[in-house]
Copies of this chain bind each other. A is one copy, B any other.
Amino acid sequence: MSSFEDADTEETVTSLRVTVYHPGQTQSGIFQSIRFSNPEKLPSSEVVKFGRNSTVCRYTFQDKQVSRVQFSLQLFKKFDSSVLSLEIKNMSRRTGLLVGGTELGYLNKVELPYRCVVRFGEYQLLVEKQDGESLEFFETLFTMSPRPLLQEHGWPAGKPTPELCRPPPWSAQTTCLSACPTEMDENEC
């Protein structure tokens, strides 16, 4: 059984792979509460919160610069679709959330494409979605990138970055986005 299959129903599940990067990640321990390379099965109804507060957030960043809840991800089902879609909402009143090239203010939300870089402060997260059959569960899988997901001089904040928000080349896994870190494992992009 692959890690993207529900053990009970044998249905494939929607998978969210999240690759994170922060320039201080090795010294500061900001990601120490995230269990990397550990697939986690969650109910599709869950609003998954990311932020500083471990009581309300599923995934916490141990960093005082981060808002109590920075952003949330949630799945929903479009009327004309058999698979789950993914939405991101900025939950921080003080920090903008860059989703691809679009800046979200407080309580703004957008649907995430299959592959997209999300940024706030010095944080960079590459969120990749793979469709599954199950409507009950989905799975998250976190990886830490040793290098920035975006070249420092490549994509000025606030400018459109369409290359970072296109459907994933699942059928051609060797095709790599220009924003992918060049020294990541081959399986990552």
Instruction: Name A residues whose Cβ lies closer than 8 Å to a Cβ of B.
Output: 44-45, 47, 69, 75-79, 84, 89, 91, 93, 105-109, 135-136
Contacts and interface: CB of A to CB of B under 8 A. Distances in A.
Contacts of A84: 107
A69 B45 CA distance: 9
Contacts of A93: 135-136
Given A45-B91, A77-B106, A93-B136, 11 more contacts: A44-B107, A47-B47, A75-B107, A76-B107, A76-B109, A77-B105, A77-B107, A77-B108, A84-B107, A93-B135, A106-B135
Contacts of A107: 44-45, 75-77, 84, 135
A133 to B, nearest CB: 14
Secondary structure dominating the interface of A: loop
A175 to B, nearest CB: 31
A90 to B, nearest CB: 9
5 contacts: A44-B107, A45-B91, A45-B107, A79-B108, A93-B135
A110 to B, nearest CB: 9
A156 to B, nearest CB: 20
Contacts of A76: 89, 107-109
Nearest to A78: B108
A93 B105 CA distance: 32
Contacts of A47: 47
Nearest to A91: B45
